Amino acid sequence: MLLENLKDGHVCQIVVEDVDETTLLREAKKKKKKKPETPLPQPPPQVKKPKPPKKVVISNELQAIKIQAWWRGTLVRRTLLHAALRAWIIQYWWKQKLVELLEKKRRAMLQYYAQKKWAVVRLQSWVRMWRVRVRYRRLLHAVRIIQVYWRWHNCHTRGIFRGSYELTASQLGLELEIFLGSHICRITDCIPFPIKT
Protein backbone atom coordinates (compact mmCIF):
# COMPACT_ATOMS: atom_id res chain seq x y z
CA MET A 1 0.00 0.00 0.00
CA LEU A 2 1.30 3.45 -0.94
CA LEU A 3 0.01 6.87 0.21
CA GLU A 4 0.65 9.92 -1.98
CA ASN A 5 -0.03 13.60 -1.35
CA LEU A 6 -1.71 15.26 -4.34
CA LYS A 7 -1.86 18.92 -5.36
CA ASP A 8 -4.67 20.21 -3.12
CA GLY A 9 -3.72 18.24 -0.01
CA HIS A 10 -5.89 15.23 -0.88
CA VAL A 11 -4.59 11.80 -0.09
CA CYS A 12 -4.64 9.04 -2.66
CA GLN A 13 -4.23 5.40 -1.68
CA ILE A 14 -2.70 3.06 -4.23
CA VAL A 15 -2.98 -0.64 -3.54
CA VAL A 16 -0.70 -3.10 -5.30
CA GLU A 17 -1.99 -6.69 -5.19
CA ASP A 18 -0.34 -9.89 -6.13
CA VAL A 19 -1.69 -11.18 -9.43
CA ASP A 20 -1.98 -14.76 -8.22
CA GLU A 21 -4.26 -13.87 -5.28
CA THR A 22 -6.67 -11.89 -7.42
CA THR A 23 -6.95 -14.61 -9.99
CA LEU A 24 -7.69 -17.16 -7.22
CA LEU A 25 -10.42 -14.92 -5.79
CA ARG A 26 -12.05 -14.50 -9.20
CA GLU A 27 -12.07 -18.22 -9.85
CA ALA A 28 -13.65 -18.91 -6.45
CA LYS A 29 -16.44 -16.34 -7.19
CA LYS A 30 -17.11 -17.93 -10.61
CA LYS A 31 -17.51 -21.40 -9.05
CA LYS A 32 -20.03 -20.09 -6.55
CA LYS A 33 -22.06 -18.47 -9.31
CA LYS A 34 -22.08 -21.66 -11.43
CA LYS A 35 -23.90 -23.68 -8.79
CA PRO A 36 -27.37 -22.15 -8.80
CA GLU A 37 -29.86 -24.62 -7.43
CA THR A 38 -33.06 -24.00 -9.23
CA PRO A 39 -33.98 -21.08 -11.27
CA LEU A 40 -36.65 -19.02 -9.56
CA PRO A 41 -39.31 -17.24 -11.53
CA GLN A 42 -38.37 -13.68 -11.99
CA PRO A 43 -40.71 -11.05 -10.63
CA PRO A 44 -41.85 -8.26 -12.92
CA PRO A 45 -39.43 -5.38 -13.24
CA GLN A 46 -40.06 -2.65 -10.79
CA VAL A 47 -39.52 1.01 -11.28
CA LYS A 48 -36.66 2.14 -9.16
CA LYS A 49 -37.19 5.12 -6.97
CA PRO A 50 -34.46 7.72 -6.87
CA LYS A 51 -32.26 7.20 -3.88
CA PRO A 52 -31.78 10.05 -1.51
CA PRO A 53 -28.22 11.48 -1.53
CA LYS A 54 -25.95 9.62 0.80
CA LYS A 55 -24.55 11.49 3.70
CA VAL A 56 -20.84 11.18 3.72
CA VAL A 57 -19.71 10.19 7.13
CA ILE A 58 -16.14 11.12 7.71
CA SER A 59 -14.51 9.19 10.43
CA ASN A 60 -11.98 10.63 12.84
CA GLU A 61 -9.22 8.62 11.21
CA LEU A 62 -9.90 10.18 7.79
CA GLN A 63 -9.98 13.63 9.33
CA ALA A 64 -6.65 12.98 11.04
CA ILE A 65 -5.16 11.77 7.75
CA LYS A 66 -6.35 14.92 5.97
CA ILE A 67 -4.90 17.16 8.69
CA GLN A 68 -1.58 15.27 8.57
CA ALA A 69 -1.47 15.56 4.79
CA TRP A 70 -2.20 19.29 4.98
CA TRP A 71 0.53 19.76 7.62
CA ARG A 72 3.06 17.73 5.61
CA GLY A 73 2.22 19.76 2.50
CA THR A 74 2.69 23.00 4.46
CA LEU A 75 6.06 21.80 5.74
CA VAL A 76 7.16 20.75 2.26
CA ARG A 77 6.03 24.07 0.77
CA ARG A 78 7.82 25.98 3.53
CA THR A 79 11.00 23.94 2.99
CA LEU A 80 10.80 24.50 -0.76
CA LEU A 81 10.22 28.23 -0.21
CA HIS A 82 13.30 28.46 2.06
CA ALA A 83 15.37 26.48 -0.44
CA ALA A 84 14.18 28.70 -3.30
CA LEU A 85 15.01 31.86 -1.30
CA ARG A 86 18.48 30.55 -0.47
CA ALA A 87 19.05 29.61 -4.09
CA TRP A 88 17.86 33.07 -5.16
CA ILE A 89 20.27 34.71 -2.67
CA ILE A 90 23.18 32.60 -3.93
CA GLN A 91 22.28 33.37 -7.55
CA TYR A 92 22.06 37.11 -6.79
CA TRP A 93 25.46 37.01 -5.03
CA TRP A 94 27.02 35.08 -7.91
CA LYS A 95 25.58 37.52 -10.49
CA GLN A 96 27.06 40.42 -8.50
CA LYS A 97 30.43 38.67 -8.41
CA LEU A 98 30.27 38.09 -12.17
CA VAL A 99 29.45 41.76 -12.74
CA GLU A 100 32.38 42.77 -10.50
CA LEU A 101 34.72 40.41 -12.34
CA LEU A 102 33.57 41.71 -15.72
CA GLU A 103 34.00 45.31 -14.52
CA LYS A 104 37.50 44.50 -13.24
CA LYS A 105 38.42 42.87 -16.57
CA ARG A 106 36.96 45.81 -18.48
CA ARG A 107 39.00 48.29 -16.41
CA ALA A 108 42.15 46.21 -16.87
CA MET A 109 41.57 46.11 -20.64
CA LEU A 110 40.94 49.87 -20.70
CA GLN A 111 44.13 50.50 -18.73
CA TYR A 112 46.06 48.18 -21.03
CA TYR A 113 44.61 49.94 -24.10
CA ALA A 114 45.33 53.40 -22.66
CA GLN A 115 48.89 52.38 -21.78
CA LYS A 116 49.51 51.01 -25.27
CA LYS A 117 47.98 54.09 -26.87
CA TRP A 118 50.07 56.36 -24.63
CA ALA A 119 53.20 54.41 -25.58
CA VAL A 120 52.36 54.71 -29.28
CA VAL A 121 51.71 58.45 -28.95
CA ARG A 122 54.98 58.89 -27.06
CA LEU A 123 56.89 56.92 -29.69
CA GLN A 124 55.28 58.95 -32.46
CA SER A 125 56.21 62.20 -30.72
CA TRP A 126 59.82 61.01 -30.37
CA VAL A 127 59.97 60.11 -34.06
CA ARG A 128 58.48 63.48 -35.04
CA MET A 129 60.93 65.27 -32.73
CA TRP A 130 63.86 63.33 -34.23
CA ARG A 131 62.73 64.15 -37.80
CA VAL A 132 62.32 67.84 -36.93
CA ARG A 133 65.79 67.92 -35.33
CA VAL A 134 67.35 66.24 -38.35
CA ARG A 135 65.67 68.75 -40.65
CA TYR A 136 66.70 71.63 -38.36
CA ARG A 137 70.34 70.43 -38.37
CA ARG A 138 70.34 70.20 -42.15
CA LEU A 139 68.94 73.73 -42.40
CA LEU A 140 71.45 74.98 -39.83
CA HIS A 141 74.31 73.37 -41.75
CA ALA A 142 73.04 74.94 -45.01
CA VAL A 143 72.79 78.35 -43.28
CA ARG A 144 76.35 78.04 -41.98
CA ILE A 145 77.65 77.15 -45.43
CA ILE A 146 75.82 80.14 -46.91
CA GLN A 147 77.17 82.41 -44.14
CA VAL A 148 80.75 81.23 -44.70
CA TYR A 149 80.53 81.87 -48.43
CA TRP A 150 78.85 85.22 -47.88
CA ARG A 151 81.46 86.32 -45.34
CA TRP A 152 84.30 85.19 -47.59
CA HIS A 153 82.75 87.14 -50.47
CA ASN A 154 82.27 90.24 -48.30
CA CYS A 155 85.81 90.06 -46.95
CA HIS A 156 87.30 89.87 -50.41
CA THR A 157 85.25 92.75 -51.70
CA ARG A 158 85.54 95.01 -48.62
CA GLY A 159 88.95 94.24 -47.35
CA ILE A 160 91.07 92.11 -45.03
CA PHE A 161 92.97 92.99 -41.89
CA ARG A 162 96.18 91.10 -41.23
CA GLY A 163 98.55 91.93 -38.48
CA SER A 164 101.26 90.88 -36.10
CA TYR A 165 102.69 92.24 -32.88
CA GLU A 166 105.91 91.98 -30.94
CA LEU A 167 105.97 92.48 -27.21
CA THR A 168 109.17 93.33 -25.39
CA ALA A 169 109.82 94.55 -21.86
CA SER A 170 109.73 98.23 -22.77
CA GLN A 171 107.56 98.50 -25.91
CA LEU A 172 104.83 96.97 -28.07
CA GLY A 173 105.57 96.69 -31.79
CA LEU A 174 102.59 96.49 -34.17
CA GLU A 175 102.53 95.73 -37.85
CA LEU A 176 99.16 95.89 -39.63
CA GLU A 177 98.30 95.24 -43.28
CA ILE A 178 94.94 96.28 -44.66
CA PHE A 179 93.88 94.95 -48.06
CA LEU A 180 91.12 96.95 -49.73
CA GLY A 181 90.54 95.40 -53.09
CA SER A 182 93.58 96.48 -55.11
CA HIS A 183 94.94 98.93 -52.46
CA ILE A 184 97.25 97.78 -49.68
CA CYS A 185 97.87 99.85 -46.57
CA ARG A 186 100.69 98.98 -44.15
CA ILE A 187 100.94 100.45 -40.69
CA THR A 188 103.95 99.90 -38.50
CA ASP A 189 104.16 101.47 -35.05
CA CYS A 190 106.06 101.07 -31.78
CA ILE A 191 104.37 102.00 -28.54
CA PRO A 192 106.75 102.52 -25.57
CA PHE A 193 105.60 101.51 -22.09
CA PRO A 194 105.95 104.07 -19.30
CA ILE A 195 108.51 102.79 -16.81
CA LYS A 196 107.96 103.72 -13.15
CA THR A 197 110.95 104.01 -10.91
At 58 the three-state DSSP class reads coil
Cα 162 to Cα 175: distance, rounded to the nearest angstrom: 9
Residue 167 lies in a domain: yes
pLDDT band of residue 3 (cuts 50, 70, 90) is very low
Q: How far is CA 46 from the centre of its chain?
A: 88
Residue 65 lies in a domain: no
What is the four-CA torsion angle of 28, 32, 33, 35, rounded to 10 degrees? 140
pLDDT band of residue 150 (cuts 50, 70, 90) is confident
> Tens digits of per-residue pLDDT, 7-31?
565 555 555 444 455 566 677 677 7
> What percentage of the chain carries pLDDT values higher than 90?
37
* Total of domains in the chain: 1
> Tens digits of per-residue pLDDT, 84-99?
999 999 999 999 999 9
Q: Please, are residues 159 and 181 in contact by the beta-carbon 8 Å criterion? A: yes
- Tell me how far CA of residue 192 lies from CA of 171, 195, 197, in angstroms: 4, 9, 15
Cα 187 to Cα 164: distance, rounded to the nearest angstrom: 11
Residue 178 lies in a domain: yes
Structural domain boundaries enclosing 175: 159-191
> Which residue type does 40 have?
L
Residue 14 lies in a domain: no
Residue 179 lies in a domain: yes
Residue 101 lies in a domain: no
Range in 59-63, 79-83, 163-167, 191-195 the model is least confident about: 191-195
Residue 165 lies in a domain: yes
Arithmetic mean of pLDDT over the chain: 79
Cα 88 to Cα 83: distance, rounded to the nearest angstrom: 8
Q: How far is CA 18 from the centre of its chain?
A: 65
Residue 63 lies in a domain: no
